[in-house]
Amino acid sequence: MTPDVRPHEKLNRVVIFLGPPGAGKGTQAKELARKFSAPHLSTGDMLREHVAQGTSLGQRAQPIMGRGELVPDSIVLRMVAERIERPDCSHGFVFDGFPRTVAQAKYLGESLKQHGYKRPFVIHLAIDPSILLRRLTGRRTCKVGGEIYNVYERPPKVAGICDADGGELVQRPDDREEVIGPRLQAYEKQTAPLAAYYGRLGLLHVIDAAKSVEEVGQQVLQSVKSVRGAR
Ligand SMILES: [Zn+2]
């Protein structure tokens, strides 16, 4: 049975997505937010907004970002706290790519409590590393229009050629196995403690991310709706 979202139905939850690069975290977070017309919050977007508007946080972050360094928690956490105070967040929102560490998760938990939010609903998009590796290393991008294919899961009609515009399909340097392998290991090292932390709090909901985008989306919706209103 496919769960539906009624018109004007509110999310009424703080949803956090965890998952390795390639698990579809960004896609699922945006889709869930869209279904409920809820804010989709990414710290990258927040940083860009603060820099564009020249706020004091933005002015502090800009030189750090310019040097290609990681913006420290002292700035990121204040941005997050400021963002979730805004009225558009009052009926729930979706985090994409935050928190990344247990320290950030603890801070977020306190911040949510202070603002009267319920405990977050954490979705872990879990996927077998070998499937993930295939998904990432199989990716090919069109040099002309930027269309994305996958030689295993979504191949073009003619190998190496874009269906839409005949452009050449290439593998981005970032998608090569020697780059992906260490990235996935780094992710695992950072996120395993975070998943364990939320697991101990009983807030972690594991979803199999090896399925299609649509199937995973249905499961996300089903699991979010199954516990709505719970505290
Ligand atoms: Zn193309």
Instruction: Give the pLDDT score at 164.
Output: 96
Gap from CA of 165 to ligand 1 centroid (Å): 5
Gap from CA of 134 to ligand 1 centroid (Å): 22
Gap from CA of 24 to ligand 1 centroid (Å): 22
Gap from CA of 27 to ligand 1 centroid (Å): 21
User: Averaging pLDDT over each range in 151-155, 163-167, 223-227, which range is the top one?
Assistant: 163-167
Tell me the percentage of the chain whose pLDDT exceeds 70.
Answer: 97
Contact 28, 220 (CB under 8 A): yes
Gap from CA of 44 to ligand 1 centroid (Å): 27
Instruction: Give the pLDDT score at 191.
Output: 82
Kindly report the pTM of this predicted structure: 0.84
Sign (positive or negative) of CA dihedral 117, 119, 216, 10 = negative
Gap from CA of 148 to ligand 1 centroid (Å): 8
Q: Mean pLDDT over residues 104-121, rounded?
A: 93
Instruction: Give the pLDDT score at 229.
Output: 53
Gap from CA of 143 to ligand 1 centroid (Å): 7
Q: Mean pLDDT over residues 20-41, rounded?
A: 93
Q: Which two tokens stand for residue 144?
A: 């002309």
Contact 18, 194 (CB under 8 A): yes
Question: What span, in angstroms and rounded, lies between the C-alpha atoms of 161 and 142?
Answer: 8
Q: Bridge-partner residues for 15, per DSSP?
A: 94, 121
Number of CB atoms found within 10 A of residue 96's CB: 21
Angle between helices 102-114 and 177-200 (to 10 degrees): 50
Q: Give the tens place of pLDDT for each residue, 52-109.
A: 999 999 999 999 999 988 899 999 999 999 999 999 999 999 999 899 999 999 999 9
For residue 2, name the pLDDT band (cuts at 50, 70, 90).
Answer: low
Residues labelled as active-site residues: 25, 100, 139, 172, 183
Hunting for tokens 């913006």 — which residue is that?
A: 71
Tell me the percentage of the chain whose pLDDT exceeds 90.
Answer: 68
Q: Give the tens place of pLDDT for each residue, 170-196.
A: 998 888 989 888 888 888 888 889 999
Gap from CA of 33 to ligand 1 centroid (Å): 29
Whose CA is closest to 21, among 141, 201, 190? 190
